[in-house]
Amino acid sequence: MTATLAIENVSVHFDAGDGPRRAAVREVSLAVAPAECVGIVGESGSGKTQLFMAVMGLLRGGARGSGAVRFEGRDILGVPRRDLNRVRGSKLTMIFQDPMTSLTPHLKIGVQLAETLVSHAGLSWQEAERAALQMLERVRVPEAQRRLRQYPHELSGGMRQRVMIAMSLLCEPSLLIADEPTTALDVTVQAQIMDVLRAVRAASRMAMVLISHDLGVVAGLADRILVMYAGRVVESAAAGDLLAGAAHPYTAELLKCVPNLWGPRLARMPSLAGSPPDAKTAERGCAFAPRCPRAAERCRVERPLLRAPEAPTRGHEVACHYPVAATAVTA
């Protein structure tokens, strides 16, 4: 069965003019199966967004991607724009973090929705607007008819994000990439948006990639979770396995940071000391070593490769010399 999305050894380099080329993404490989939801977790600077910008052909500012990306068997990395546009926006869609600035201010909502169908499916504007109306109702936008005639600035953040989601679903995509879809929204609205995404997933065979720095957001929806650090994948496992027992020290720390309503009351919120290395630093050994509580000499010189740990749970991979043994985490 062909993976819906196959990312093979993709790196993203910046030509910064001064000094050596910086890398935002380093030799990442991953695959998304049809109807699967993959969660990508990492701090800012981990490369998670840049990776998928490369996939969508949206890299800018001197950034270049290398490697191969295949969507439903077809190469899409580095191909001419016209070929990319056959799938981009129709079968392979993406929604972004900032709904407040992601919609074109001078075009009506209806136009921005309909143009996807007009462009990809060859519908007439009337037909497209009718389909857009139905989609808005599906994502539970109230007074959908009225909204079609309005401009983006007349809608709230949460509603704009729903419009974005609707926009990405119109052509029945095989894969939807959601980059931090709730980060910029209020907490209550966050929950609503996650509900919409959940409903959408339940209703179709669509695959999804959910990118977030918040493990909690991802945990609710993903089948499989990948953790990224400093441009590399450091752990990859089925969601349940990961949450039950993270093998990579970084993931373990992340899990500790998720506030737990039913756990013991803590005197202090746990947090990770230090900050991730920036893209300019050349790699020497494991990138996490400076912050890792388990780091040893070997970690500083030899970069660990991603592989299944000694007591493998199927599909669980870690890039660490001294992975954490499985510990139970209260759900």
Q: Which residues bind other proteins (CB under 8 A)?
A: 56-58, 60, 81-82, 84-90, 93-94, 96, 98, 101-107, 115-116, 119-120, 151, 153, 164, 167
**Neighbouring-strand partners of residue 5:** 32, 71
Smaller CB separation from other proteins, 19 or 264:
19
- Number of Cβ within a 10 Å radius of residue 305: 11
- Least distance to other proteins from the beta carbon of 116, Å? 5
The span from the CA of 310 to the CA of 313, in Å, is 9
Q: Half-sphere exposure (CA, 13 Å, Cβ side) for 6?
A: 10
- What's the closest the beta carbon of residue 92 comes to other proteins, in angstroms? 8
**CA gap 7, 267 in Å, rounded:** 43
CB of 323 to other proteins, least distance (A): 37
Residue 152 or 323 having the CB closest to other proteins: 152
Q: Under a CB-based contact definition with an 8 Å cutoff, are residues 215 and 259 in contact?
A: no
Taking the least distance from each CB to other proteins, the nearer of 169 and 299 is 169
Task: Say how far apart CA 188 and CA 23 lie, in whole Å.
Answer: 36
CB of 134 to other proteins, least distance (A): 18
What is the smallest separation between the CB atom of 233 and other proteins, expressed in angstroms?
24
Of 47 and 57, the one with the shorter C-beta distance to other proteins is 57
Name the minimum Å distance from CB 56 to other proteins. 6
| Pairing relationship of beta strands 207-212 and 37-41 according to DSSP bridges | parallel
Compare residues 169 and 225 and give the one whose CB is closer to other proteins.
169
Rounded to 5 degrees, φ, ψ at 291 are: -105, 0
Nearer to other proteins, 107 or 311 (CB): 107
Distance CA 309, CA 322 (A): 9
Residue 254's nearest CA partner among 46, 50, 32, 23 is 46
- Least separation in angstroms between residue 54's CB and other proteins is 13
Residue 57 or residue 309: which is nearer to other proteins going by CB? 57
Q: Which residues of 90-106 are buried (b: 16+ CB within 10 A; e: fewer)?
A: bbbbbbbbbbeebbeee
Under 8 Å between Cβ of 224 and 3:
no
Taking the least distance from each CB to other proteins, the nearer of 112 and 212 is: 112
> Could you report how far apart the first and last alpha carbons of the chain are, in Å?
33
Residue 226 CA to residue 234 CA, distance in Å, equals 8
Supply the minimum distance, in Å, between the C-beta of residue 8 and other proteins: 22
Distance between CA 206 and CA 266 in Å, rounded?
A: 40
Relative orientation angle of helices 109-120 and 125-138, to the nearest 10 degrees: 120
